[in-house]
Amino acid sequence: MRKLVVCNIMSLDGYYTGPGDDVMVMPMDEAFNAYNAERLRAADTLLVGRHTYLGFKGFWPPQADDPAARPVLQEIGRRNNAIEKVVVSDTLTAGDTDPWRTTTRIVGRADAHDQVAELKRQPGREILTFGSRTLWNDLLAHGLVDELHLILGAAVIGAGTPIFGAKPPGRLRLAEVRRFDGSDNLVVRYRLGPDAG
């Protein structure tokens, strides 16, 4: 079985975004970028919601070949351009997917649980989710997330969108805590489910 890995940054006080849905208040440093590149190397499917997909599609494609972009951003851009993308949305259409039309598949929200379960049964590498809080909180509540990789940012925001939805996750088992040189952020990795360990 393939693993579904959720990777998100959160503030020290537990927020996913700041006031007004502002993600740029999060302490996204070079360690954040390096860890995201590492996760993309381990995956062959990116599972996201509409909002995250449109944000990524608007930013990442030109990074791949931009000589002014830092090497880690070029790598993330190349990997995002190439990876299979499964987008859970009831409103997105094929016309919204350029320039990623050939690497994107859209599934409706009503089919999301079955589609994710089927993805996990297929051979391959990790299925990775960035952003997409509403989507992964729903998948978490239904036992479909295998690992949570939370980048605990060294910032107190005070208000915004909490990282977790109304239903708390099931059993969490701490698998790793990692600190990067030159960064005040930590990666805290948890395994989930009854067999977590």
Cβ atoms of 81 and 61 closer than 8 Å: yes
Q: Rounded CA gap, 114 and 34, in Å? A: 32
Q: Provide the residue ranges of all domains of the chain, joining segments of one domain with +.
A: 4-192
pTM: 0.92
- Tell me the per-residue pLDDT of 151-168, one tens digit each, with 9 for 90 and over: 999 999 999 999 998 776
- Tell me the per-residue pLDDT of 177-195, one tens digit each, with 9 for 90 and over: 999 889 999 999 999 865 5
At 166 the pLDDT is 76
Give the CATH superfamily of 4-192. Dihydrofolate Reductase, subunit A (3.40.430.10)
At 126 the pLDDT is 97
Q: Rounded CA gap, 22 and 61, in Å? A: 22
- Tell me the per-residue pLDDT of 12-60, one tens digit each, with 9 for 90 and over: 999 999 999 888 888 888 999 999 999 999 999 999 999 999 999 999 9
Please give the average per-residue pLDDT across 96-121, as a whole number.
Answer: 95
Candidates 76, 187, 78, 55; CA nearest to 131 is 55
